[in-house]
């Protein structure tokens, strides 16, 4: 018997809820972004994030139910993110979900946020199994071999910083607003995505990622060109817009090349793969997405990337994962905790 799944996602700075039906798919998908609260600090402040989740989660869950035209009693299972993420943020969503599950005798399932991203393309498409998944966001960058729903192998991951973090921190060096990714792409587009500075790409023959050295290379280049003052920690370029455009473009082309090189190597190691998916917040970047799509076309491989609303953190992907876990009776108890 098919059922309704309520998904709740509060791993970082988005308060999100969604309703998913096992046969009819997404019934609602609601999100409150805290971006405006954190922009003045240049990044997410955990305490502010937790407080905002507490304030918003009740109304966000109710909006998801209203949009789906359902009462809470119609929900059979609650799927809630319990790892990874900011502890305080995760606890808000988990405690809210456990409260509902206890009060109304609902099933509960803890969901790995990263697994939500891995299977987010299935909200709109049907990529074949097995396929390669590149997941890139502000907190994580990894490459997976996906065998089936709930079955995947980690092939490589970031050894330090994530790709999205590199975008945000380089943007901050140049006095650009948070989040940096969209602004970096906009500036790079203005100079036709040219590689001016040839930043280091790192090792090719590994499936792991590293972006901390890239951030350092950008900083040293800014200092060398008298565009950044280490004493005052200020961006001091004589022609700020031109410098921002060149750095943004070179950074974006570099990260694109890293992704392409990793995928090429992974496909060499797994030549039978017929599809690639690109997920996570960085998958909103149209330049990188188009380059990966071209790579796949050249190799006669299918390419899938979710719509932007399913690339960033959202509860629809959490409800989707909860759906196939519920079909397998993979429920948790009320002893569920974060980071288990």
Q: DSSP labels for 3-45? A: -EEEEEE-SSSEEEEEEEETTTEEEEEEEEE-HHHHGGGTS--
The rounded percent of the chain whose pLDDT value lies above 90 is 95
83: Cα separation from own chain's centroid:
13
Q: CA-CA distance, 320 to 312, in Å (whole number)?
A: 15
Phi, then psi, of 246 in degrees rounded to 5: -70, -45
Number of domains comprising the chain: 2
| Residues 190 and 148 occupy one common structural domain | yes
| Residues 83 and 41 occupy one common structural domain | yes
The rounded percent of the chain whose pLDDT value lies above 70 is 100
In 3-state terms the chain splits into helix, strand, coil percentages (rounded to 5) of 45, 20, 30
Residues contacting 287, CB < 8 A, separation 6+: 185, 188, 189, 193, 252, 256
Angle at 15 between CA 23 and CA 26, to 5 degrees: 15
| Host domain of residue 17 | 4-119+312-327
Q: Give the residue from 239, 236, 216 showing the smallest Cα distance to 226.
A: 236
Q: CA-CA distance, 211 to 256, in Å (whole number)?
A: 12
Q: Is the model's pLDDT at 2 over the cut of 80?
A: no
CATH at residue 132: 3.30.420.40
34 occurs within a structural domain? yes
Other beta carbons within 10 Å of 154: 11
111 occurs within a structural domain? yes
121, 89 in Cβ contact below 8 A?
no
Average pLDDT (153-170) is 96
115 occurs within a structural domain? yes
37 occurs within a structural domain? yes
Say if residue 189 is exposed, middle or buried (CB neighbours under 10 Å; 0-12, 13-18, 19+).
middle
State the pLDDT at residue 98: 98
246 occurs within a structural domain? yes
Average pLDDT (303-316) is 97
Average pLDDT (32-55) is 94
| Residues 320 and 297 occupy one common structural domain | no
Q: Is the model's pLDDT at 332 over the cut of 90?
A: yes
Question: DSSP code of 127?
Answer: P
pLDDT band at 1 (very low <50, low <70, confident <90, very high): low
State the pLDDT at residue 155: 98
Question: DSSP code of 288?
Answer: H
| Residues 219 and 111 occupy one common structural domain | no
| Residues 139 and 241 occupy one common structural domain | yes
The tokens for 270 are: 């797994």
Place of tokens 């808000």: 92
333 occurs within a structural domain? no
State the pLDDT at residue 340: 72
Averaged confidence pLDDT in the chain: 96
Q: CA-CA distance, 94 to 82, in Å (whole number)?
A: 6
Question: DSSP code of 311?
Answer: H
Place of tokens 């491989």: 301
Residues contacting 70, CB < 8 A, separation 6+: 4, 19, 27
Place of tokens 């988005």: 14
| Residues 81 and 186 occupy one common structural domain | no
Phi, then psi, of 132 in degrees rounded to 5: -95, 135
| Residues 276 and 192 occupy one common structural domain | yes
| Residues 161 and 112 occupy one common structural domain | no
State the pLDDT at residue 186: 98
Q: Is the model's pLDDT at 204 over the cut of 90?
A: no
294 occurs within a structural domain? yes
106 occurs within a structural domain? yes
Average pLDDT (126-149) is 97
Average pLDDT (39-46) is 90
Which pLDDT tens digit goes with each residue over 218-262? 999 999 999 999 999 999 999 999 999 999 999 999 999 999 999
| Residues 80 and 220 occupy one common structural domain | no
| Residues 238 and 106 occupy one common structural domain | no
Q: Is the model's pLDDT at 263 over the cut of 70?
A: yes
| Residues 73 and 146 occupy one common structural domain | no
State the pLDDT at residue 202: 87
318: Cα separation from own chain's centroid:
12
| Residues 136 and 253 occupy one common structural domain | yes
123, 320 in Cβ contact below 8 A?
yes
């Amino acid at each position: 018997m098919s059922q309704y799944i309520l998904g709740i996602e509060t791993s970082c700075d988005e308060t999100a809820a969604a309703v998913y039906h096992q046969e009819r798919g997404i019934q609602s998908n609601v999100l409150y972004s805290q971006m405006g609260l954190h922009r003045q600090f240049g990044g997410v402040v955990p305490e502010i994030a937790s407080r905002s989740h507490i304030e918003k989660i009740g109304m966000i869950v109710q909006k998801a139910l209203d949009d789906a035209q359902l009462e809470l009693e119609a929900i059979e299972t609650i799927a809630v993110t319990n790892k990874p993420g900011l502890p305080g943020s995760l606890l808000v969503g988990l405690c809210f979900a456990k409260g509902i599950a206890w009060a109304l005798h609902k099933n509960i399932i803890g969901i790995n946020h990263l697994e939500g991203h891995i299977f987010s393309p299935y909200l709109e498409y049907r990529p074949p199994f097995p396929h390669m998944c590149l997941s890139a966001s502000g907190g994580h960058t990894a490459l997976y071999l996906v065998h089936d729903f709930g079955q995947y192998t980690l092939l490589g991951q970031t050894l330090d910083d994530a790709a999205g973090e590199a975008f945000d921190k380089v943007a901050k060096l140049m006095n650009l607003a948070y989040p940096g990714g969209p602004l970096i792409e906009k500036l790079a587009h203005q100079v036709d995505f040219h590689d001016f500075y040839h930043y280091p790409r790192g090792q090719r023959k590994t499936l792991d990622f590293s972006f901390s050295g890239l951030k350092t290379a950008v900083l040293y280049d800014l200092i060398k060109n008298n565009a950044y003052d280490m004493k005052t920690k200020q961006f001091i370029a004589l022609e700020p817009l031109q410098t921002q455009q060149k750095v943004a473009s070179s950074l974006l082309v570099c990260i694109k090349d890293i992704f392409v090189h990793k995928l090429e190597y992974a496909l060499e190691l797994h030549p039978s793969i017929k599809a690639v998916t690109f997920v996570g917040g960085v998958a909103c970047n149209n330049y990188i997405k188009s380059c990966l799509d071209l790579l796949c076309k050249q190799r006669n491989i299918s390419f899938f990337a979710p719509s932007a609303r399913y690339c960033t953190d959202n509860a629809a992907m959490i409800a989707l994962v909860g759906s196939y876990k519920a079909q397998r009776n993979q429920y948790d108890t009320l002893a569920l905790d974060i980071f288990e």
